[in-house]
Chains A and B, each alone.
Chain A
């Protein structure tokens, strides 16, 4: 038994999405057979198997994006004994199922008892990552299933298992054929919020070389300042620590402009103004980080009012286009019911995200003595194309400095 891995189709490829399975579990495969297709940034590329055998099982679902080297399927070599309690491999079904299954059954057949559990090394040919920078399309033959690009896309959208489709006399699978196999799309995935988060975060992880820093910060001064300020105020003018953090970040950015702006078209463009994206969770799931526009020039009270207004409108589903498009950096505060720290994912084309964990009393060494202080972990994820850790560290220390003197904010 060996594994067929997500191939590397070029040096810059880090992951691929399995978009087609052309062979069903139990099918016989021969070296050179195309068994599926992988979508990369360069387009859809067919993948070939490198040994003779039987495809035992797919390990990845259609539509799933996995890193290079991830096992996609297990292949039982010609010489491997079949697992004793596995049914005989069946030939591909000649007719399509009525309800194509978008998700493959994942139940693995029980392993034979004599297989040593400590030996993960496959006994078949080495499952090396094939390097095939130039993909040649093999000539069609009767075993091959050809498919139009539109049909391929539709099949991936609707989760149609192409290996379960019979091939027409022409050998070409058309869009109409896919529609016949899956007349109704499966229950629509949440196309909005989750899709947008997925797209932005995938792009971020794909394009931005993040580096991460963290720093413990004493919030005793902030807490005392907020408590004192709120003591005499009616509720509608009270401030929250989140606004203090936002002001501290905006002030620190004056001296650290390389964390405020956009990275587009291969270069960084610092922003003259600080439009501070503030991560706001939504009831029922999802997260959005609209901007507190021009947070660098307003005072704390004005920023608090802007934050209240923003949160109220966002939770009601109303915000302005500029607030969504113009954030130049993001701040994510976990609030009072979170955890110690977060490792942010930069929202492209921004180049930094500052996180602040949930404040709690921690043992703190102060003047040579251990004392309980309200503290939190400040974190930074920043873009290595624009800045380095040393500057990032100075930036975090600068934020810390402002948080020790909240009255100046």
Chain B
């Protein structure tokens, strides 16, 4: 999966959870939860959806690598290459 594919998947899944937030308006390097105003349940829903959609494992222990939009895209792109 390319970087672009990962970004598309993340955009779409985030839109399901936070349809009121425009990805173009957020700081892609800032805290994802703050930028999208999502709580821990939303985040778990996001991880669950991405993990199923991309058929990858996203261990709890990897959460520190998912802290911003850009970090999460990089993480997803790297993961799917396995």
- List the interface of chain A (C-beta within 8 A of B): 227, 230-231, 233-236, 238, 240-242, 281, 283-284, 307-308, 311-312, 335-337
Please tell me if the beta carbons of B40 and A231 are within 8 angstroms of each other in the complex.
no
The answer to whether A235 touches B44 (Cβ under 8 A) is: yes
Q: A238-B44, A240-B44 are in contact. Are A337 and B60 (CB under 8 A)?
A: no
**Which residues on A sit within 8 Å (CB–CB) of B34?**
337
The 4 closest A-B pairs by CB, nearest first: A235-B48, A230-B60, A235-B47, A335-B39
Measured CA separation A283–B60 after assembly (Å):
25
* Chain A neighbourhood of B61, CB < 8 A: 231
CA distance A243 to B45 in the complex (A): 15
Contact of A283 among B18, B51, B58 (CB under 8 A): B18
Within 8 A of A (CB), among B39-58: 39-41, 44-45, 47-48, 51-52, 57-58
Given contacts A283-B20, A337-B33, contact A240 B41 (CB under 8 A): yes
In the complex, whether B37 has a CB less than 8 A from a CB of chain A is yes
Closest to B33 in A: A337
Kindly identify which residue among B39, B47, B59, B60 contacts A281, using a CB–CB cutoff of 8 Å: B39
Extra pairs beyond A231-B59, A283-B20, A283-B37 (8, CB < 8 Å): A227-B60, A234-B51, A236-B48, A236-B52, A240-B40, A283-B18, A311-B41, A336-B33
Q: Which residues of B contact A311 (CB under 8 A)?
A: 41
Count B interface residues, CB 8 Å: 20
What residues of B have a CB within 8 angstroms of the CB of A235 in the complex? 44, 47-48, 51, 58
How far apart are the CA atoms of A160 and B60 in the complex, in Å?
Answer: 58
Known contacts A283-B37, A336-B40; decide if A238 and B18 are in contact (CB<8 Å).
Answer: no
In the complex where A242-B41, A308-B41 touch, is A233 in contact with B33 (Cβ < 8 A)?
no
Bound together, the chains give a CA A234 to CA B34 distance in angstroms of 24
In the assembled complex, the CB of A339 is this many whole angstroms from the nearest CB of chain B, namely: 14
Among candidates A227, A233, A284, A337, residue contacting B39 with C-beta atoms closer than 8 Å: A337
* Chain A residues near B45 (CB-CB < 8 A): 308, 312
What are 23 A-to-B residue pairs whose CB atoms are below 8 Å? A227-B60, A231-B60, A233-B60, A234-B57, A235-B47, A235-B51, A236-B48, A238-B44, A240-B40, A240-B44, A241-B40, A283-B18, A283-B19, A283-B20, A283-B37, A307-B41, A308-B44, A312-B45, A335-B39, A335-B40, A337-B33, A337-B34, A337-B39
Interchain nearest-CB distance for A246 vs B (Å): 12
Residues of A within 8 A of B51 (CB): 234-235
Chain B residues with CB under 8 Å of A231's CB are 59-61
Q: How far is the CB of A86 from chain B (nearest CB, A)?
A: 47
Determine the distance from Cα of A231 to Cα of B60 in the docked complex, in whole angstroms: 6
CA distance A335 to B40 in the complex (A): 7
With A and B bound together, what is the CA distance between A238 and B20 in angstroms? 27
> Which B residues touch A308, using CB under 8 A?
41, 44-45
Query: Which A residues touch B18, using CB under 8 A?
Result: 283
B64–chain A nearest beta-carbon distance, Å: 12
Which of B18, B37, B45, B60 gathers most chain A CB within 10 Å?
A: B60
The residue of chain B having its C-beta at the shortest distance from the C-beta of A229 within the complex is B60
Give the distance in Å from the alpha carbon of A311 to the alpha carbon of B48 in the complex: 15
Which chain A positions have C-beta within 8 A of B19?
A: 283
* Chain A residues near B39 (CB-CB < 8 A): 281, 335-337
Flag if A284 contacts B41 (CB, 8 Å).
Answer: no
Residues of B within 8 A of A242 (CB): 40-41
Which residues from chain A contact B57 at a C-beta distance below 8 Å?
Answer: 234
Q: Which residues of A contact B59 (CB under 8 A)?
A: 231
Chain B residues whose C-beta falls within 8 Å of the C-beta of A336 in the assembled complex: 33, 39-40
In the complex, what residue of chain B is closest to A334 when comparing beta carbons? B39
Report A-chain residues with C-beta under 8 Å of the C-beta of B40.
240-242, 335-336
Closest to B46 in A: A235
Question: For residue B47, which residue of chain A has the nearest CB?
Answer: A235
Give chain B residues whose Cβ lies under 8 Å from the Cβ of A284: 20
